[in-house]
Amino acid sequence: MAKTLKFNLRIDKDIQVRTLEDLRNNFVLEDILAYYNNKLLHKWLRVRGFEKELEAVDKITSTSEKEILIKLIQIFGVETDPVKIDYSLEILKYDQQRVLVKKQKEKMVSATNALFSKYFERYNGLIQGIINNPKSKPMIKAALKIIEEEYSELFKHDFRNFFYRVKDKSVLAVIYLLINPFTRQFYIKDEGPLSSNNDTPTLYLEVKRCLIPSVLDHCDAVVKETIQTGQRWVELTCQRCLVLELTRATYTECAVAQRNDTKHFLDHKADARK
């Protein structure tokens, strides 16, 4: 006949319980209650041959922790003060609540981290999409529109990093950063001197360096050539334009005005950039 394998109950982390006397002398309420709930107490009684106590434990039908502990105390003949039972139960409930709150907090933190992870993952995916499709106007415009609608707060903190990530990969993306009204405000002002917080000169020089003449064919809304007009006004385009910089022409000054409005114009003397 196979020999029954026995095991000890571990009480209070370090105490090994082998006998009923050991159990009575080391009756830690929360440990005993936990062993009762997970049925390990029943198994221990069975393999140790404590049939009388096992039968009495099996007959417990209450779901109240206090009543269960009182029954167990009676079954194992533990001498204790009822006040001590109430006190211990309060501590046990507090510990259980603390553990529950901790688990709920960890779950919330985990869910929040996962949400933020997906948020940043999609934002980075939009940037990577631009990098992977550097000449796709529809894709770049759509990506910037999504950033405007869903990632505006993030872009406010990331506009420098965004520019440096795409500038060497897609000139078209740089152009559309300036064409898009929302993203443009972080690099230039719509009127007057250029301003993009404290790094204006460096950032603007980088923007200009990207927009060299050989790559301006990416965009139809850019005036590409200097036209010597003398004192005459010449209509270059009837489209809405983005003027980055005006410089002196060979024989006269260079200026730009809205159609049919020669009173309000930008000229190179004001170092106008729009």
Rounded to 5 degrees, φ, ψ at 127 are -65, -45
**Backbone dihedral region for residue 49 (phi beyond 0: left; psi -120 to 50: alpha; all else: beta):** left
Domain coordinates in residue numbering, the chain: 9-80, 113-218, 222-274
Q: Which pLDDT belongs to residue 149? A: 93
pLDDT tens for each residue of 198-231: 555 566 667 767 665 444 454 444 444 445 555 5
- Per-residue pLDDT tens digits for 110-120: 888 888 889 99
- Asked whether the predicted pLDDT for residue 182 surpasses 80, the reply is yes
Cα–Cα distance, 212 to 201 (Å, whole number): 17
Model pTM? 0.50
CB 266 within 8 A of CB 256: yes
Give 128: exposed, middle or buried? Use CB within 10 Å, 0-12, 13-18, 19+.
Answer: middle
Residue 151 predicted with pLDDT over 70 = yes
- Position 126 scores a pLDDT of 94
More confidently predicted of 274 and 245? 245
Residue 79 tokens, joined: 């001498």
Average pLDDT over residues 125-135: 93
Query: Is the Cβ–Cβ distance between 7 and 47 less than 8 Å?
Result: yes
As given in the structure block, the two tokens for residue 29 are: 């309420």
Residue 148 has pLDDT above 70, yes or no: yes
Task: Give the range among 19-33, 48-62, 169-183, 256-270 with minimum mean pLDDT.
Answer: 256-270
Instruction: Please count the CA atoms within 13 angstroms of the CA of 15 that sit on its side-chain side.
Output: 14
Distance CA 13, CA 11 (A): 5
Structure-model confidence comparison of residues 151 and 260, the more confident one: 151
Q: Round the average pLDDT of the chain to a whole number and report it.
A: 77
Query: What is the predicted pLDDT for the residue at 263?
Result: 61
CA distances in angstroms from 178 to 71, 148, 183, 189, 212, listed in the order given: 78, 13, 7, 10, 15
* pLDDT higher than 50, residue 272: no
